């Protein structure tokens, strides 16, 4: 495996807010990413921040969209861990979409954790360092003697402690530590990361409060459905489009042979799978028409593939020498050869779609071509 595709340099910008609040914003300046992965990165933009109010309340911004994978809870956890606050007292607020203000506001490919793992932790750690410095100056005590826990700063030698809120204004005025040099917690000291936390959206979700893309409408909005070949990458040859167009509420029905779409945020091309599109005045009309589609498909080479054949190929390949060596520690072959007992086992999983359970959808506003 190649080295990380994202080599970040970051710094903190700190300002004092109303009421003595401390606001820490993370600025990211990624180097150009591999063209085969993500393309060119944007200029430095605020990517995440937290606020400590004078009363000690902590608000953490969740910058990425939540698609059910938990990032709206997970990303703030990274900051909260290193900031050393009580997770139960944290308020999570969703960032608005702003391409100029935030970098990497997208979801997909399980990239939220690796992209944000270190930058967001360093943001929290830098905030904690500033709070410790503020306490040391206030108490005239060495920073090495000061500790933090659950939103409070302690100097056990003098039996003194204070809440983050009381130090917020003073900490906000201090020089920002270098993110590259701030000390991160040892994994054994984690209190939030790696522990089961209830999703911050759960109460709202179970009471039906969130809005989803399927809830949105725009003036003159039409509804579309898309029928794809049951075989991957198969293409439509023909369909009963004339019959479909005669059905109630149907505006358009046409074949899509597939093309490649450039995704600016990611910098790579994503193919639009071939299929049949139906556009109607309502979703029900479009969906009802789709059920009456009669499509002749060119299934292509995919028609000869099957899970059974994949399993046979995997078994045959597993008996060969590794094609790529990612890491080598010690003499594994020698240890197995001289072992008193060797246990072998094979693990497999089916070739299935990695996708959400519900129908995926989006709202698009198309104007002037």
Check: pTM over 0.75? Answer yes or no.
Answer: no
Distance separating alpha carbons of residues 132 and 152, to the nearest angstrom: 10
Query: What pLDDT does 264 receive?
Result: 57
In the chain, where does the domain assigned CATH 3.30.365.10 lie? Answer: 10-206
Indicate the helix (H) or strand (E) that contains 11: strand 10-17
Question: What is the CATH number assigned to the segment(s) 211-369?
Answer: 3.90.1170.50
**Each residue's pLDDT expressed in tens, for the chain with a length of 369 residues:** 333 333 333 333 333 343 456 766 554 444 333 333 333 333 333 334 788 999 999 999 888 888 778 899 999 999 999 999 999 989 999 888 876 666 677 877 788 888 889 888 988 998 999 999 999 999 999 999 999 999 999 999 999 999 999 999 899 888 888 888 899 999 999 999 999 988 988 888 899 888 888 888 888 999 999 999 988 889 999 999 999 999 999 999 999 987 656 555 555 666 778 999 999 999 999 999 999 999 999 998 889 888 888 889 988 998 898 888 888 889 988 999 999 999 988 888 777 776 666 677 888 888 888
β partners of residue 252: 279
In the chain, where does the domain assigned CATH 3.90.1170.50 lie? Answer: 211-369
Is there a contact between 44 and 52 (Cβ–Cβ < 8 Å)?
A: no
Indicate the helix (H) or strand (E) that contains 50: strand 45-52
CATH topology of domain 10-206: Aldehyde Oxidoreductase; domain 4 (3.30.365)
DSSP one-letter string for 24-37: EEEEE-PPPPPTTT
Query: What pLDDT does 187 receive?
Result: 94
Distance separating alpha carbons of residues 91 and 76, to the nearest angstrom: 9
Query: What pLDDT does 102 receive?
Result: 66
Among residues 86, 102, 209, the alpha carbon closest in space to that of 152 is found at 86
């Amino acid at each position: 495996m190649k080295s990380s595709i994202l080599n970040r340099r970051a710094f903190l910008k700190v300002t004092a807010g109303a009421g003595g609040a401390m606001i820490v914003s993370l600025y990211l300046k990624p180097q150009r990413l591999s063209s085969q992965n993500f393309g060119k990165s944007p200029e430095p933009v605020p990517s995440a921040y937290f606020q400590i109010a004078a009363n000690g309340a902590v608000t953490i911004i969740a910058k990425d969209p939540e698609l059910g994978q938990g990032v709206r809870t997970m990303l703030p956890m990274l900051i909260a861990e290193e900031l050393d606050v009580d997770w139960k007292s944290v308020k999570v607020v969703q960032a608005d979409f702003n391409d100029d203000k935030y970098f990497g506001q997208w979801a997909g490919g399980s990239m939220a954790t690796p992209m944000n793992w270190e930058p967001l932790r360093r943001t929290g750690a830098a905030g904690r360092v500033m709070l410790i410095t503020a306490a040391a100056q206030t108490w005239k005590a060495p920073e090495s003697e000061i500790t933090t826990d659950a939103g409070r700063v302690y100097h056990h030698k003098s039996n003194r402690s204070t809440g983050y809120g009381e130090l917020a204004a003073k900490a906000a005025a201090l020089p920002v530590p270098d993110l590259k040099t701030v000390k991160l917690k040892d994994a054994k000291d984690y209190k939030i990361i790696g522990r089961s936390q209830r999703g911050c959206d759960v109460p709202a979700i179970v009471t039906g409060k969130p809005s989803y893309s399927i809830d949105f409408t725009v003036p003159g909005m039409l509804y579309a459905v898309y029928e794809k070949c049951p075989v991957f990458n198969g293409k439509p040859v023909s369909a009963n489009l004339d019959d479909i167009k005669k059905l109630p509420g149907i505006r358009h029905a046409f074949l899509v042979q597939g093309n490649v779409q450039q995704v600016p945020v990611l910098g790579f091309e994503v193919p639009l799978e071939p299929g049949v599109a139906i556009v109607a005045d309502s979703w029900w009309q479009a969906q009802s028409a789709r059920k009456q589609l009669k499509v002749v498909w060119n299934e292509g080479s995919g028609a000869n593939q099957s899970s059974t054949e994949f399993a046979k190929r995997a078994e045959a390949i597993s008996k060969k020498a590794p094609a790529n060596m990612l890491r080598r520690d010690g003499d594994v072959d020698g240890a197995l050869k001289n072992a008193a007992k060797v246990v072998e086992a094979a693990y497999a999983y089916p070739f299935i779609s990695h996708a959400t359970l519900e129908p995926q959808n989006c709202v698009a506003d198309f104007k002037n071509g």
